[in-house]
Amino acid sequence: MSNKVKIERICEYCGKNFIAQTCKTRFCSHACNSKHYKESIRSGRYNIVTKEVKEEKQQRLRLSIDEIEFIQAKEYISLKQFATYLGVGRRSVYNYIHKYQIPFIKIGRRTMIARKEIDTIMNTLIKSVEALSESPIKTLEHLTDFYSVKEIEEKYRIKYNRLYVIVKENDIPFVTIAGHKYYSVKHIDKYFLKMGYMEAEEITRWYTIEDIQKIYRMTVKAVHSFTSRHKIPKKKEKTGNTTLYSKKHVDDIKNAQIGEDGYITIPEACAMFNVDRDTIYNRCQTYNIPKINKGKFVIVSVEGLRKVFGTGNIAINNVNEQQESNHVEQTNSDKENESITK
């Protein structure tokens, strides 16, 4: 059983007694409340309250200005003063320290920062923003041809998530029409030409990675290194996720030359001489075989490796000839075994 306490009050507008719903109720009805509000406005009380609020804001502003002047006069400031100085929160202060590598010192449990370091960084940021605003704005007026996302996916056999990364990393220009994005034909074709995709539509014969491994006796890592270094044209199959490489380009490079200026990569050397990576590095150090750092690859002199390991397997013709000779030898041995058995 609950007890309800009746609160009797007198309406501040009409003076009647009424039962209040809460302890803070001042008027007996909404009508009395509205009439009192209008009367207070007419009497100027509202203007007085507004003036008091404005004076309070101005006083706070004066205090903040005084505090900033106080901070500017100090050589070292705390994190709280840092936040007040820039007008940001404490979390932003930690982000700025981490992002711009602002030096700080610890005094007991307090973290102090040199104010001139903050001024230097802020001046640098202001100059960079001003330079950016003065730089000419890039326009797409000179671009007239655009690909849709579907056209790029069908032509180059890639998925949208990969296309999104390519566009973002290479700053490919695009326009948005009716909520759909269209990308510059010139820039898309230039990127895929650099990556070895452009000639894919004209090529009819292809190797899979397994084919290259079998024919040239290469590991998967060596195949990826070889195709990336020589920019072999490639494409993705419509069904599945198999990457195909141009048969003509692979055969031409393997038959015509080995690397550039007689050098090959470490994975290619491992595949050619059927040894592991450590063995290649060990022989290069022991016999002073020349090797060069070229971008992300380490290339080694083929002539120096041949002096240590022999000729190796370098061309498809040599591989096929070896396979044919092995087949002939196997056939002859089978015939000899049959004659002996008879």
Arithmetic mean of pLDDT, 63-81:
80
CA angle 237, 255, 217 (to 5 degrees): 65
Residue ranges making up the domain that contains 114: 75-132
Domain-embedded: residue 64: yes
Are 224 and 300 part of one and the same domain?
A: yes
Look up the pTM and report it. 0.31
Half-sphere exposure of 36 (CA within 13 A, CB side): 13
Closest by CA position to 235, among listed 206, 211, 262: 206
Are 238 and 274 part of one and the same domain?
A: yes
Are 116 and 36 part of one and the same domain?
A: no
Mean pLDDT (the chain, rounded):
75
What does the pLDDT look like over 166-217, one tens digit per residue? Answer: 888 888 888 887 678 888 888 888 887 777 665 545 677 888 888 888 877 7
Closest by CA position to 266, among listed 216, 314, 302, 215: 302
DSSP letters, 11-59, are: -TTT--EEEESSTT---SSHHHHHHHHHHHHHTTHHHHHHHHHHHHHHH
pLDDT higher at 50 or 198? 50
Distance CA 236, CA 155 (A): 10
Domain-embedded: residue 179: yes
Are 150 and 52 part of one and the same domain?
A: no
The CATH number that applies at residue 112 is 1.10.10
| pLDDT-derived band at 62, boundaries 50, 70, 90 | confident
Are 220 and 278 part of one and the same domain?
A: yes
Contact assessment for residue 212 and residue 218, using Cβ atoms and an 8 Å cutoff? yes
Are 189 and 279 part of one and the same domain?
A: no
- 168, two tokens: 């973002």
Domain-embedded: residue 294: yes
- 71, two tokens: 């901070």
| pLDDT-derived band at 48, boundaries 50, 70, 90 | low
Are 258 and 173 part of one and the same domain?
A: no
- 271, two tokens: 């595949």
Dihedral Cα 324, 327, 329, 335, nearest 10 deg: -140
Predicted pLDDT of residue 324: 43
Are 180 and 244 part of one and the same domain?
A: no
What is the amino acid identity at position 40?
Answer: S
Are 213 and 156 part of one and the same domain?
A: no
- 61, two tokens: 């502003």
Domain count, the chain: 4
Are 94 and 164 part of one and the same domain?
A: no
What does the pLDDT look like over 215-243, one tens digit per residue? Answer: 777 788 888 887 877 777 777 776 667 78
Distance CA 60, CA 62 (A): 5
Classify the C-alpha dihedral 35-40-46-47 as positive or negative. Answer: positive
Looking up tokens 């579907």 gives 150
Are 226 and 304 part of one and the same domain?
A: yes
pLDDT higher at 102 or 141? 102
